[in-house]
Structure 1
């Protein structure tokens, strides 16, 4: 019997859509979600005992591989001392010190439990620091599911955003402006017209929820210059890219420093840890020092922080990212060759251990270009890969992730599966 289907039927009776996060439901690709019961290194096994080579890595955090012995040991030792205290701990201090040491733009940091909480808090802090209300975000970037961030572009270039989720009042979204990603002219026009009203600009330097779309260097430089000129807080959302794309996150890749940074995923090593931090003069506005309130019962949980510390101490070892880049490069070269041989329009993008796969001849640079690609080919490709034991994100709009645990044999097996999958969908082109 198909245990995945049995569990999905059960789950659908007690949870909306049978899942606790929407993309897990396979709605965009069709079929039955896989219920995973265990994982090790670069693999996980579903309830039917089918093994998959995993390229989602819990949506990014599992950069060192599943159940890494150092991480498991750290969690076990921390759990044996107690699951939580609601008080400060040594581990929280060590985590903050490590983050500030690894990322130059961090002078102070506060730990929280999720990326959504980090971005929500950073925005509140930016508004409290500047005394302004207006937030700017970019089309196609995802910063969590708090109300002011669930906004899509309006009908005109600089129009106010409109709620993109039911349950978000228009009054909440009225202070959020949405611009096209990578559009330098739109950015300059906005600051010229409204710069003295802008509290913050929040940006994913590599947008991982429209697959993988990187900011152009000119766009990043211009954004940094304009925020400095107008006293607007630049929030770089590195929840996905933080210690995933390089030793100093995406800020190291671009040579651009944020005023505030949000982090998550990798810093928890698979457990719920996130953070926001940046300039000390801005962070001084946080309670208990200042008037911007934020609190969390589970913030800095000792077991979760132990997992994050163990993971970061592996990531910061010499040669870690060089090895990860080599693996990702080899994988994408194999995908591209296989697609070319099958006559399927295809392109890739990558940075560190994060990558994107596109059914288009050139990698997109904006949400509109992503939507113009052959996203209709993805469901068939996804299932063809799944049938070959390769688990990609079940959506054409999600990035993929390489781990240090993937072997040369895993990559070769994945490329062999891709050759079969591209051949299987070639008639759809």
Structure 2
């Protein structure tokens, strides 16, 4: 039986100085109860906590550790580069190298602007879309998370045409007025919003494969219709690939789905897990960005050399070894089949969604296609399953609304151990 004495002590101490004891809310285990595990180190797919307990990791730092924690090539590159200083606040050749590599890998983009987080990337992309189109409103989807910028923290009203209502204190009604929220996978709902706000919508932003309501895939034809609608109405389609980028394929969700986006945003995967983000698009759109154009965006740490070398090293490895994506998909399929078998034997209601190396288990009897159906799985079974798995050395996302992210450092022995742990956990839940 695992002991959590040190983690408990650290959480008590953290609560004295950090709001809620954590620097990002999901880490607080609010959704599952109990005390969060404080991690001390990680290697490959194994996390080690402050009490010395080891876990097989299915979070991968929320996506970017595609080839595992402390990936040797990335670590060596960081060690070498850090000798030159941790920040310059001035241009470096390395920024050109990674931008050139991203443009080579990702379809439909000519230019990349580096920022410092996925939130900043999405916030900037919306500003660019507004500057380019001369329109103010945009559509987001319930259950898709694009960071904590004010305009994204909006929940739809009861009617499809109702203006957004802030669902976080500190977000002003004025900000909410320009944010429209649609139902994921419901093209008729999107068309209604567009019709009711004719020539006012600058952009539609979406997680092409959702990861923030669990792993939720677009219905067949949904993305194609969204692309057609944007073309007809002069609206920019923004793919938030903070989670999808370079995980599903070399070219991300655009390549994987065969759908062209007008702007794409990326997160820490382009920094090998370091704090970084980016937005990218064709010349025609990106020319509005300062200093070329009037849309202002800046950052002292943008293009930080440590993040750039980490990201360049990881992306170069992914680009040169496309078999990694096949291997990841095969491992995820293996896990899917194993979990499907033990869940079917358990007698519990469940659904499993999978796309590439993203997968989610939902304790529900309905197909999970959007936020409302994902919410049916946010019940007492998930916290039980989470803690039973944790006791058996399996670290799952501590929320039913988060996708699992697999790393290629996972071995089939680890996957078998995970499936066996799930079998034992489900038996214990009975």
Q: Where on the TM-score scale, by shorter chain, does this alignment land: which range?
A: over 0.9
Give the whole-Å Cα distance in 2 for the aligned partners of 1:402 and 1:120. 27
* Residue aligning to 1:229: 232
SS at match of 1:195: coil
Cα deviation, 1:14-52, whole Å, max 9, x if unaligned, reads: 001000000000011011111111110110100000000
Give the whole-Å Cα distance in 2 for the aligned partners of 1:192 and 1:169. 25
Cα deviation, 1:56-88, whole Å, max 9, x if unaligned, reads: 011111111011110101111110111111111
Aligned residue runs from structure 1 range 294-373, under 5 A: 294-316=297-319, 317-373=321-377
* Residue 395 of structure 1 pairs with residue 399 of structure 2: yes
C-alpha displacement at 1:415, in angstroms? Answer: 0.5
SS at match of 1:420: helix
SS at match of 2:221: helix
* Residue 380 of structure 1 pairs with residue 388 of structure 2: no
* Residue 250 of structure 1 pairs with residue 253 of structure 2: yes
Aligned residue runs from structure 1 range 53-202, under 5 A: 53-202=56-205
Give the whole-Å Cα distance in 1 for the aligned partners of 2:378 and 2:176. 31
Flag the 1:263–1:366 CA change in 2: closer, same or farther, 3 A.
same
Q: TM-score, normalised by structure 1?
A: 0.97
C-alpha displacement at 1:192, in angstroms? Answer: 2.7
Give the whole-Å Cα distance in 1 for the aligned partners of 2:104 and 2:144. 28
Kept in 2: contact 1:348–1:356 (CA 8 A): yes
Aligned residue runs from structure 1 range 31-46, under 5 A: 31-46=34-49
User: Unaligned stretches of 5+ in structure 2?
Assistant: none
Cα deviation, 1:177-229, whole Å, max 9, x if unaligned, reads: 11111111112222233231111111111111111111223111111111111
Kept in 2: contact 1:64–1:314 (CA 8 A): no
C-alpha displacement at 1:351, in angstroms? Answer: 1.7
Kept in 2: contact 1:136–1:176 (CA 8 A): yes
SS at match of 2:354: strand
Aligned residue runs from structure 1 range 411-422, under 5 A: 411-422=415-426
SS at match of 1:375: coil
SS at match of 1:397: coil
Cα deviation, 1:344-379, whole Å, max 9, x if unaligned, reads: 112212222211111124540011111123632100
Give the whole-Å Cα distance in 2 for the aligned partners of 1:110 and 1:242. 15
C-alpha displacement at 1:157, in angstroms? Answer: 1.4
* Residue aligning to 2:242: 239
Give the whole-Å Cα distance in 2 for the aligned partners of 1:53 and 1:235. 34
C-alpha displacement at 1:251, in angstroms? Answer: 1.2
Kept in 2: contact 1:158–1:179 (CA 8 A): no
* Residue aligning to 1:292: 295
Give the whole-Å Cα distance in 2 for the aligned partners of 1:106 and 1:30. 43
Q: TM-score, normalised by structure 2?
A: 0.97
Kept in 2: contact 1:217–1:254 (CA 8 A): no
C-alpha displacement at 1:138, in angstroms? Answer: 0.8
The farther-off stretch of 389-398 and 268-277 is 268-277
SS at match of 2:199: helix
* Residue aligning to 1:9: 12
Cα deviation, 1:82-109, whole Å, max 9, x if unaligned, reads: 1111111111101111111101121111
Give the whole-Å Cα distance in 2 for the aligned partners of 1:77 and 1:411. 34
Kept in 1: contact 2:116–2:276 (CA 8 A): yes
* Residue 276 of structure 1 pairs with residue 304 of structure 2: no
Give the whole-Å Cα distance in 2 for the aligned partners of 1:38 and 1:261. 32
User: Unaligned stretches of 5+ in structure 1?
Assistant: none
Give the whole-Å Cα distance in 2 for the aligned partners of 1:52 and 1:162. 40
C-alpha displacement at 1:285, in angstroms? Answer: 0.3
- Out of 23, 30, 34, the residue aligned to residue 26 of structure 2 is 23
Count of residues paired in the alignment: 426
SS at match of 1:277: strand
Q: Once superposed, what is the RMSD of the aligned Cα atoms?
A: 1.1
